[in-house]
Structure 1
Amino acid sequence: MTTSISPKAMPAELWYPIIEMLPSVDQKTCLSVSEMFHDIALTYVFSHVSISLGLWRPFEHIDDEEVFTDDEKADLIRRADASYEVLRHIMRTPDFARKVKRVSVRAFSCAGVEMQLAIRFLADALEAIPELRGFFWHGSSPRMPLEVFKVLANSSHTTLRELGMPQELPEGAISLLSPIHDLTSLTVLDQDADEPSLIRDVLEANANTLRALRLAGETWDQCLPMPSFASLAELDIVGIQGHEELGELFAHCTHLRALSLVFTYAEDVLIPVLRAQPKALPDLDSFKIWSVDYSGDDLAVLARFLQKKKRLRRMDVMVRVDARWLAADTALLITPILEIMPKLRELQVVGLSVRVASLQKEHIQDLEVYLPDNLTALLIWVNISSSSVPADEWIELFNSRRSLRYLHLVPDFYDALKLKAAVLNNPPPNLELFGYGAQIRPIGRDPTTGAVVVRPRWPYPKVYFRTADDYGNDDWEWLLRYHGNDEDEHFMDNADAIR
């Protein structure tokens, strides 16, 4: 016998933590269940609001004429209306404004389109939010304007804890951040940002509270010597160009738990540092590197560094190799990294590059032997000339990892793997999300029969801007972070604006 309990039988205070832990889609459902659930869910559904400026389009589809289809026009109007409605509600309803804690802007306006009215609405709304804790600007069209910087500095400097800025900043922007002193997370990815001394002043002012920092490689180099960060746990250096002094991070960021290094050019400044300090950063639980022209010897040095990190739970190693060496080698370049995985008992989230001239069955056997049994998320970039491995060999590999919930494959331009249909027809038993290039699809199960249900793929703006909120999982966002950017030529090849 089962006994149903009316929601009203429990005090509202008990429902708050329950609804807070629900997935965002279920929180939104609670808005229409009852008045009490509506009021509770409102706190969480709108604690983080997302504003769209313009319409996302693949770069190759953008031209001076900006001719839109009827569907694109309708989508543009819908997104603009939704954003304006939220901004108006914030300005007109103080109770609602108090619920908003974080604001994200997705900026993809069209070339030549005037966005000043939208910027004015945004600035006025930000000024009306009394407890803004996080602000994030994604995209560069339009650039994050000085008007927004001024509002954040004047109205939110005592409450702001997280600030994410885009890759292009207007002149004078950094100098406006001087009143902000208690940031826990900061992103500055503009390689040509204001005077390095100004950025260093911001870092110095927040050195005691910063836990997460994302900097452009050029900025990192120009801000040296870095302040001694008391609490820094996560560091991303993006766009490393080969002349940066990375040894400084071992001296000034000794308590790091997560490190991401994204290289732009072939010259590497990391391997000599790792060779000299293989025992550095003992507390790492997350490590990501995207680099080029690594040899097997280089990867052996990296492997020796990583195998000592017994807490390592997330590892993403993406290396490119010159085609001349690729054609001459029959082994997977990533083999030294694979071989240390059994020693990393906590490892659950893995990204790796499979690069070899001709993919053979023994390469899949290597993956079978070395990939962790308790893998929960896996990203594989593939660069091969040919493959003699049938799809069912891959499927057997994926399905043997019964804890795997997110699988993402990025094929080469010609898609020599042709695995998308095979995975969708026979996904791993607990898979929840499957990515293939720029296409990401949720995977469900029929509650009655248990049959696989392939849900509609994510719209491409969501794929392009993807955040932890989009994924509903911090590990999954971390795994695909910095992948599929503008320089990854084939990642967004088949993207369109609406779907």
Structure 2
Amino acid sequence: MLRGLCGFAWYGSNPPPPPSIIERLREASSKTLLDLILPSNVQVNPCPLPRLTSLAFLQRHHSRRPITEDSTAAATNAIRALIATHASTLRSLCVYGDLLSDSSALDVSAFQHLTELSIINPRTLPDLTAIFEQCTAIRAFTLCDKARYDGQEDVSYAHWSNDEFVGVLRAHPTAFPHLAAFKLMGAWFWADQMEAVAAFLRGRKGLRRLDLMNDKWTRWDGDGIIDDLCPVLEILHGLPRLEVFGFDMRGVQLTQDDMRCLEMCIPGSVTALAVTVFAESSKAQAEDWRRFITGLDSLRYLHILSVYGQERGDIEDVLSGSPLPFLELFGYNQDMHWACHENNSDAGTVELGERWPYSRVQFRTRDDLGCEDWEWLLRHHGEDNEDIFWIWGR
């Protein structure tokens, strides 16, 4: 059992994997195991796995089980020991909560070969200064904080400061020189803080993937729906390799001017696009969506997420009546469809196939989507205690 595995994943925290799981994997697959995914509160015995290159600790799809503070501390210490044991071989590390926040337990300098780092829903940031200065091989960086506002976490707990994160960006403008993917979700980033994010990303010649979701609900107070996003939109044409882009728009009303701005700023070379719309109403017409979408003539995957669902009919009309020869996959909220071309008289227009089963959408994998770029674009959306469950949920 478990012999010769290249990867092992245990999704969900109830029932938990036994503490001896790592030892069993070492006994059966020590020469082959490369990838390991476990729940974020698992208690493990930190045995070495000499070929392990990818390690993730997740709390996905609202999976929860009652735990005591003592058991949480024991699990955290065990996980930190496991991470430290494999620091020199890891290329990819994803942690949930505050697993990296104890600098005394983890030596950042040991992660010199790390190329992908994801920090999900932390209450306290790790030593980002050390990470930005010493982890020079990082190509993909994710900071996702969706736990503050989902109504399930205790919001009286202190959380990390946006100023702290932005201060690190400003102090290290050339960090991660090989950066190819950047995902920032959650927290409330003000306009000047988004300018700092844009400044950090400006001119990144190798950046292929970018996903930004800013939970600044004060955009309901009269700011334009894309005002906070403008500093990032303005740098997109200076990112020559950008192909994968996700963003959100929040405000009272989506306007035709907003659509024109998107049309002008988002490069036509984008192959995968995810747009999240939080608006009470929309003045955007079908023609505005048509101009925007058809201008992205390299698009292979399009996903629209909308609270009120006002755009669906317009967008589906665009897909069925406009030439989008490369579109392969379309999503609207929790509905996803393969795009078909062969049955149309006009080979460029799109016909939507059958809707995916909801379980496939919710527990999607790279194999389901057929493209690593697309899985990355949707990663941490609709999971990890995301506060937009009314978009993704049933």
* TM-score range normalised by the length of the shorter chain: 0.7 to 0.9
Alignment-derived partner of residue 365 in structure 1: 260
Q: Which has the higher helix share?
A: 1
Q: What's the secondary structure of 1:139's corresponding residue?
A: coil
1:196 is displaced (CA, Å) by 4.5
Residues 320-378 of structure 1 deviation map (CA, whole Å, 9 limit, x = unaligned): 1124x432212512111100001111111000111222211111111111101111000
Matches within 5 A, 1:36-51: none
**Closer/same/farther in 2, CA of residues 426 and 253 from structure 1, 3 Å limit:** farther
- Please state how far the C-alpha of 1:244 moved relative to its aligned partner: 3.8
1:489 aligns with 2:389: yes
* Alignment partner, residue 13 of structure 2: 140
Post-superposition Cα deviations, 1:464-484, rounded to whole Å, max 9, x if no partner, equal 111111111000000000001
If the length of structure 1 is used for normalisation, what is the TM-score?
A: 0.68
| 2:362 equivalent to 1:468 | no
- Name the residue aligned to 2:28: 155
**CA-to-partner distance for each residue in 1:433-486, whole Å, 9 max, x for gaps?**
011111111111126733633211211111111111111100000000000114
SS in 2 for 1:320: coil
What are the equivalent positions in structure 2 for 1:325-364 lying under 5 Å apart?
325-330=219-224, 332=226, 333-364=228-259
Q: For residues 384-423 of structure 1, what are the structure 2 equivalents within 5 Å?
A: 384-412=279-307, 414-418=308-312, 419=314, 421-423=316-318
- Displacement of 1:154 in angstroms is 2.1
- Contact 1:193 1:219 (C-alpha < 8 Å) held by counterparts: no
Q: What stretches of structure 2 of length at least 5 have no aligned partner? A: 60-66, 149-158
**Residues 411 and 193 of structure 1: is their aligned pair in 2 closer, same or farther, counting only changes over 3 Å?**
farther
Identity %: 34
Counterpart in the other structure of 1:221: 101
1:148-172 deviations in whole A, cap 9, x for unaligned? 4443132112321110113342xx3
Deviations 1:167-202 (A, max 9, x none): 342xx32x2x41313211000236946454533332
Q: Is the 8 A contact 2:109 2:135 kept in 1?
A: no
* Deviation at residue 490 of structure 1 after TM alignment: 1.1
Q: Tell me the secondary structure at the aligned position of residue 491 of structure 1.
A: helix
Matches of 2:362 and 2:220, distance apart in 1:
30
Contact 2:338 / 2:353 at 8 angstroms: preserved in 1? yes
**Match of 1:457?**
355
Q: Relative contact order (alpha carbons < 8 A, sep ≥ 6): 1 or 2 greater?
A: 2
CA distance in 2 between counterparts of 1:376 and 1:462 reads 22
| Structure 1 pair 441–193 and aligned structure 2 pair: CA distance change class (3 A) | farther
2: CA distance, partners of 1:465 / 1:395? 31
SS in 2 for 1:261: strand
Contact 2:40–2:95, Cα closer than 8 Å, also in 1: no
Q: What count of residue pairs does the alignment treat as equivalent?
A: 361
The answer (yes or no) to whether the contact 1:433–1:442 under 8 Å persists in 2 is: yes
2:83: which partner in 1? 203
User: Which has the higher Rg, Structure 1 or Structure 2?
Assistant: 1
Q: Where do 1:259-408 residues align within 5 Å?
A: 259-263=141-145, 264-265=147-148, 267-268=161-162, 269-323=164-218, 325-330=219-224, 332=226, 333-408=228-303
Please give the alpha-carbon distance, in whole angstroms, between the structure 1 residues aligned to 2:210 and 2:73.
Answer: 30
Partner of 2:54: 185
Deviations 1:53-85 (A, max 9, x none): xxxxxxxxxxxxxxxxxxxxxxxxxxxxxxxxx
TM-score (norm 2): 0.85
What is the Cα-based RMSD across aligned positions, in Å? 2.3
